Structure 1
Amino acid sequence: MLRIGDRIIHYNVYGTEGAIPTMSFGGSPSTRWKRPDAVEAISASGLWMAVPDRSGYGGSTRQPGRTVASVVEDAAALADVLGWERFAVTGGSGGGPHALACAALLPDRVTRCAVSGGIAPPVVDGPEPTEADEQADPRRNRTSWLAARDGEQLRTQLEETARHIMEAVQVGGPEFPPDPGAAPGPPAREDPAAMARLTATFVTSHDGWLDDLIAFAKPWGFELGDIRVPVSLWHGSGDERAGKYADHLAAAVPHAERRYYIGGHIPPVNAYRELLRWLTLS
């Protein structure tokens, strides 16, 4: 646990102490508790990885009104506690903007930044987006549009989404939806650790999830064009939405590399290992 003023941040550390320092930012929503296959990949990668729960997640003190850039203070403080002068960052999905914030605002400390299935700044002006609008350009999505206008209505929708997810789990669904064409994983309800991760993500609190979405829908607090550290943008062959986001990010972030893998929104283990290996490059 880390104290920053009157706030606390909970975090886990994985991998080998003294190895290459790396900070990982989970999606929206997320938990600091990694799956066993991810923990194994981290341990084999030569990384020493810290995974903080952002404000509002997992017992970390909520920070109403935070921006994407607000995470930078927490990341720097956590790195200081761990004795890291320099470190790599990575973020998946909604964690991507937070990793990019560190790359932009901590250029003397961040060595590399890998983003997997990350989002680009949404477009929230104008009328409420239609499904066709969102399919053409995921930056114009109803969730972001609503986040910019009515947080309480958005909270109600998030609670409903979380309820549906947990109902599917209770009747035998896997921890994560399978990639297109792939067989579903084992029932999560039979794995206490998987249920603990799901509970932390979808049941305990929706504050962090809500605050993430509101932060995405307003200015992020930094410019993508200011990033100068090496950046890689990863997305799966079955994740068309992330691919469209990556198009916008690649156009905005100087010298960003595009990386593809076979799979969906969540990288399979082989792709995750490759992403981790990229973070170790000098």
Structure 2
Amino acid sequence: MTLLELDVPVRDGGSLHAYDTGADASSALTVVWHHGSPQTGAPIAPLLEAASARGIRLVSYGRPGYGGSTPRPGRDVASAAADVAAIADALGIERFAVMGASGGGPHALACAALLPGRVTGAVTLAGIAPRTDAFDWFAGMASPGGLRAAVEGRAARAAAAETEEFDPAQFLPVDWAALDGRWASLGADAQRAGEAGLDGLVDDDVALAAPWGVELGGIGVPVLLVQGEGDRVVPAKHASWLVAHIPRASLWMRLDDGHVSVLDVVPDAMDWLLERS
């Protein structure tokens, strides 16, 4: 599969580094992938394989601060919609579906809410909910320190990032098995993103902990929420809250999955999007 890389200028004078598998006569659907935190934005092997098997054109990009995209301190979740619209315009794509994992989930939902007429459907996998007083947002997170710091603002989150270490207790045994096998490329990409700098992760967490600028009740397209019951990074309560607040949402609760192993649903989720394209 040929993978095109391009830098797309955006309104603030910066650019976004994007990837495109390209269109051909058999392309049944375009899916824009929203990566987790931290990742570079490069499409990883299991995504490319699932898309290729289904004739899906896959587009992905690094959010500002990741993978060669210009940092944009102070960005909110809603800004992803204009960013994706700019990439789609540069590639000549009018209509597309969106799919996001973990920290990418909210950004996929922003596109569904703010690009009516262009987005045909949305999928989130282990996606976090907006911060709310309706439930204890941090409850069940194995390592909520970064997000707690993000509530205090960018300076506090950046300071926390200088000393924080990854807590392996965040992942279940099934997550580690996935990272050792079929999702090894995801772990390698996360490492590359971390080595390149912390701007993207810091700005992601601040955006997730602040008001998103997105009205979830205004999403008019079908939305599929996929959640691992045992997730210790984004607890299952987040998916329960989201399904109650998005009009056309469905929830696939995976009883034996955690934060990474739930990604095994990607092929089925792509089939779900194809059925609604």
Q: 2:4 maps to what in 1?
A: none
Q: CA distance change for structure 1 residues 90 and 12 in 2, over 3 Å: closer, same or farther?
A: same
Aligned partner of 1:135 among 139, 142, 149: 139
| 1:131-210 correspondence to structure 2 within 5 Å | 134-135=138-139, 142-161=145-164, 164=166, 178-179=173-174, 182=177, 185=180, 197-210=189-202
AA aligned to 2:151 is: A
Distance in 2 (CA, whole Å) between partners of 1:194 and 1:266 is 9
Q: 1:2 maps to what in 2?
A: 8
- In structure 2, the residue corresponding to 1:160 is in which secondary structure? coil
Q: 2:257 maps to what in 1?
A: 263
Q: What RMSD, in angstroms, separates the aligned Cα atoms of the two structures?
A: 3.0
Matching of residue 14 in structure 1 with residue 21 in structure 2:
yes
AA aligned to 1:144 is: L
Which digits, 9 at most, give the CA deviation of each residue in 1:196-244, with x for residues without a partner? 6244321101111111111112211121111111000001243264321
AA aligned to 2:8 is: L
Q: 2:106 maps to what in 1?
A: 97
Mind listing any 5+ residue stretches in structure 2 that lack a counterpart?
Answer: 1-6
Distance in 1 (CA, whole Å) between partners of 2:200 and 2:32 is 18
Deviation at 1:248, TM superposition (A): 0.7
CA contact (8 A) 2:126 2:262 kept: no
Distance in 1 (CA, whole Å) between partners of 2:40 and 2:91 is 20
Deviation at 1:277, TM superposition (A): 1.1
Distance in 1 (CA, whole Å) between partners of 2:56 and 2:186 is 24
Q: CA distance change for structure 1 residues 226 and 28 in 2, over 3 Å: closer, same or farther?
A: same
TM-score (normalizing by structure 2): 0.82
Q: CA distance change for structure 1 residues 115 and 198 in 2, over 3 Å: closer, same or farther?
A: closer
Distance in 1 (CA, whole Å) between partners of 2:223 and 2:157 is 32
Q: 2:236 maps to what in 1?
A: 243
Distance in 2 (CA, whole Å) between partners of 1:55 and 1:181 is 28
Distance in 1 (CA, whole Å) between partners of 2:43 and 2:214 is 29
Say which one has the larger Rg. 1
AA aligned to 2:273 is: L
Distance in 1 (CA, whole Å) between partners of 2:66 and 2:131 is 22
CA contact (8 A) 2:76 2:207 kept: yes
Q: 2:52 maps to what in 1?
A: 43
Mind listing any 5+ residue stretches in structure 1 that lack a counterpart?
Answer: 126-131, 169-175
TM-score (normalizing by structure 1): 0.81
